[in-house]
Structure 1
Amino acid sequence: MRYFEGVSGLVHYRRWPIENPRAVVVLLHGLGQQSADYHRFCRAANRSGVDVWGIDHIGHGLSEGDSEAMPPIDDLAANAVRLTALARTEHPELPLIMVGHSLGAGTALIAMQDRGAVVDSVSGVVLLGSPERAAILDVPAPRVPTLVLHGCDDRRAPIAPIKRWCAQRPGTRMREFLDAGHDLLHEPGYRAVTEAILEFVQDAVRRTSMPARRVPGLPAVAV
């Protein structure tokens, strides 16, 4: 099993590696989930030439922390940046996409506010079921191409505030899924959602005409 030292304890992460990948995805799950819930998506990503790294948030899955408490979003974001650094160490030359669902989407938004070299090397962001809190707090959009996927029938994170949020941020592109709720990658229409994400990843591959720069001074991994 793989772990790294997070801001408040050991953080578990999973890998779905392939030989000669064309891109890398860092996957951030939602509240009450864990990286193991995403095997189906990750296998599809592998078939598309994508290497996937998935985190277990604080108190989730095999990571340390209180499973009954909501972890601070800043701590989640800091851990997401650390996992991104590990993925970037393994693949310094490939386009890297951060994909977050619900709590993971909020985590990705906060993580992308970091001004360090690791976040600057991210090629794009995909947000699924973005929490309404992101719109209420007026979190800036990431500084890279951003795809927002949302279910029209999402009752846990209503779509209207996120539509307004996207409309005010030219760098974002939104796609709505009819008859879909909150957990887009685990609903009957998951195939269309998976295809949308992987098309976005392949767009990043096509945009990458030069190798991504290496990121100096990355932390060592503890496994």
Structure 2
Amino acid sequence: MAESREHTFAGVRGVNTVREWPHDRPRYVVILIHGYGEHIGRHEHVADRLVRHGAAVYGMDHVGHGKSEGDRALIEDFEDVVTDVRTVEERARRDHPGVPLVVIGHSMGGMIAARYAQLHGTGLAALVLSAPVIGEWEVVSTLLALDEIPGIPLDPAMLSRDPSVGAAAAAEPLVWHGPFKRPTLEAFTAALTTLAEGGTFGALPTLWVHGEDDPLVPLGPSRGGIDTVRGTDLSERIYPGGRHEGFNETNKDEVLDDVTSFIDRALTARARGVSEW
């Protein structure tokens, strides 16, 4: 795996930890945004692949996640997380001035990345959304309707057809294994509404990847959300049989090949000043 280092910064709601996978002469920079209840370390293999492809990679543990401060798995306002991602971007741009920047977000991180693109997309070279929470997510309204949110653990089989992925997540101490917290669910509701009303991605080259059989963030509702915010430059890859974590699926090499090929096309088009798709 590529070497990495950590640093911290004062986020909106506490001290956040950022992991950086450096590259001496990167062709592009990636801001990698993780999903709910996990941490950026679960995406180390993704960062490694991107570094070998020519990227410097930065990824933050969100407030309440991983090594960052805050009550576990508690996010009260996703706009604050977007602001923290902006701080990471500013650090990356100081480290690598003039280098094209790509944002990649998975699941909840895809929702955050989509909102980030609405606010700051003109400064990005490309956007990748992996199984994004976007559009309607029925689990949120279902849980909010209950008087008490049950502490039913996530079925690890939802993540990947590879059973070792779920087993590793279930044993990971930095992964949250408790119930959703009501303020976090309310924040999801507000964020999805904000996204739906926040406009499109314009001409930003965007790749949407999703498992066809994703039981956690179903394909259909996400498609509706994508159709609402998509700009003029959307590519999609839907993987038959794929579950929630495409980057950890049995065909993860194919998924990462698609991501890196898309980034190559986006960077080439950016250099030429034209769109190729």
TM-score (norm 2): 0.70
- SS of the residue 1:114 aligns to: helix
Largest Rg, 1 or 2 = 2
- Root mean square deviation of aligned Cα: 2.1
Q: Which has the higher contact order (CA 8 A, sep 6+)?
A: 1
Distance change >3 Å, CA 114–CA 100, structure 1 → 2: same
- CA deviation digits over 1:148-184, x for unaligned, max 9? 1111001111111222344453332211011111111
Question: C-alpha separation between the residues in 1 aligned to 2:221 and 2:40?
Answer: 27
Check if 1:193 corresponds to 2:249. no
* Counterpart pick for 2:211 among 131, 151, 159: 151
- CA deviation digits over 1:17-36, x for unaligned, max 9? 11211111100000111111
* Counterpart pick for 1:207 among 251, 269, 273: 269
Can you give the 5+ residue segments of structure 2 that lack an aligned partner in the other structure?
A: 1-5, 138-191
Question: C-alpha separation between the residues in 2 aligned to 1:88 and 1:62?
Answer: 23
Shift of 1:7: 0.7
Report which stretch shifted further, 160-169 or 6-15: 160-169
Query: CA contact under 8 A between 1:157 and 1:182: conserved in structure 2?
Result: yes
Can you give the 5+ residue segments of structure 1 that lack an aligned partner in the other structure?
A: 212-223
Matched ranges for 1:1-223 at <5 A: 1-114=6-119, 119-133=121-135, 137=193, 138=196, 139-143=198-202, 144-167=204-227, 169=230, 170-209=232-271
Question: C-alpha separation between the residues in 2 aligned to 1:91 and 1:9?
Answer: 26
Q: Which amino acid aligns with 1:178?
A: P
Question: C-alpha separation between the residues in 1 aligned to 2:238 and 2:53?
Answer: 23
Question: C-alpha separation between the residues in 2 aligned to 1:206 and 1:14?
Answer: 28
Question: C-alpha separation between the residues in 2 aligned to 1:10 and 1:68?
Answer: 15
Q: Percent identity?
A: 28
What is the aligned length? 208
Q: Which amino acid aligns with 1:142?
A: F
Question: C-alpha separation between the residues in 2 aligned to 1:140 and 1:157?
Answer: 22
Question: C-alpha separation between the residues in 2 aligned to 1:102 and 1:140?
Answer: 20
User: By percentage of residues, which structure has more helix?
Assistant: 2
Report which stretch shifted further, 131-140 or 84-93: 131-140
